[in-house]
Amino acid sequence: MFSWISWIDLIFIYFTFTIVVFAIGINISESNISPVLLQTFRYGKHAYKGEPSRVVQAFEVPKSYFKHFYVFAIVWAILIFGLTFNLYVLGTTVPAFIIDALDFLYGKDRSVTMSAFTALQATFLLTLQCARRFYETQYIQVFSKQAKINFTHYLVGYLHYFGAFLAIISRAPGFVHNANPEDVTYIQFDMILPRHLSMMTLFFLGWFQQLRANLMLANLRKNRSGAVVTEKHLMPQGGFFDFVSSPHMFWEIVMYTALTVILLPNISWIWVFLWVVSNQIENAWLTHKWYLGTFKNYPKERRAIIPGIL
């Protein structure tokens, strides 16, 4: 591929292009969109309500299968973080087959665009996010037994985390031919820039706030003892839900924004970021429209995803 774009980059560009085109179409003239496409893309509380296509139904899986790709995500995250930790802290070398695989996926003309500390910090933060999402989907989140998602959504979940971690290490020292890893066995303070500290703080803010929002959503379906009493979608109140309909999606964007600033100027990560932003905005917008159409007393001052703006 071109020096500034890779095969994995193309996947995220395709994801972004698809969700943007769909968003424009559904928000401007949903009635002119094929029911097959609507059934394919819509899921959850804003799933397609018309006559279902049996062909599309054949490619649907339970929404609870979201659990599966977070199992994959945490295993993959630990493997990648383990590689970076062993390389930069313990002083080991990256196996040649991994560098060869990155050359195939990202091109042999890759260059280092970050310090070892940046790579280690970014992989650690993303691993922390995967660990929390694994815990939430396995032990907190309540999935409706009737809810379905298209297999394409299921596949995208795997590709997202697979590509996101590779986007980081593809430009990291020690993972590029003829680039020596930097020794961070002893902390070198000149590697730690103000953006590392400020963006890590922002990331942790988003991390804890997203956990809080997901707990609030899950608790809508549980009683005080923690037992599931309903699978209905109820109207959330309190916390950041007083400002936006989908605070968990807002904080997802915040976390990925923090990672993007940390990783600048990693172009491969930019495509990951654009995909996350476009996907979260569209899903939040559909969710907001569903809330407005379902609850007559839904607060009019709430926005879809960005307080006071969108």
Does residue 164 form part of some domain? yes
Lowest mean pLDDT among 41-50, 51-60, 146-155, 244-253: 41-50
Q: Does the pLDDT of residue 55 top 80, yes or no?
A: yes
* DSSP letter, residue 52: P
In the prediction, which pLDDT does 187 show?
47
Residue 301 has pLDDT above 90, yes or no: yes
For 10-19, 92-101, 183-192, 273-282, which range has the lowest pLDDT when averaged over its residues? 183-192
Overall domain count for the chain: 1
On whether residue 157 sits in a domain, the answer given is yes
Measured between alpha carbons, how far is 62 from 228 in angstroms, rounded to an integer?
Answer: 18
Q: Residue 180 has what pLDDT?
A: 65
Q: Is residue 148 part of a domain?
A: yes
Assess if residue 129 is contained within a domain.
yes
Per-residue pLDDT tens over the stretch 114-131: 988 999 999 999 999 999
Instruction: Domain of residue 11: give its range.
Output: 7-294
- Mean pLDDT for 85-114 is 92
How much is the pLDDT for 183? 54
Q: How far is 177 from 166, CA to CA, in rounded Å?
A: 15
Alpha-carbon separation of residue 211 from 19, 47, 99, 136, 227 (angstroms): 25, 24, 35, 8, 19
Structural domain contains residue 142: yes
Flag whether 302 is in a domain.
Answer: no
265 preceded by a cis bond (ω within 30 of 0): yes
Of these ranges, 20-24, 43-47, 69-73, the one predicted with the greatest mean pLDDT is 69-73
Residues 263-273 have a mean pLDDT of: 96
pLDDT of residue 184: 55
Does residue 43 fall inside a structural domain? yes
pLDDT band at 182 (very low <50, low <70, confident <90, very high): low
Give this prediction's pTM.
Answer: 0.93
Overall average pLDDT of the 59-88 stretch: 94
Residue pair 203/125 in contact by the 8 Å Cβ criterion: yes
**pLDDT beyond 80 at 43:** yes
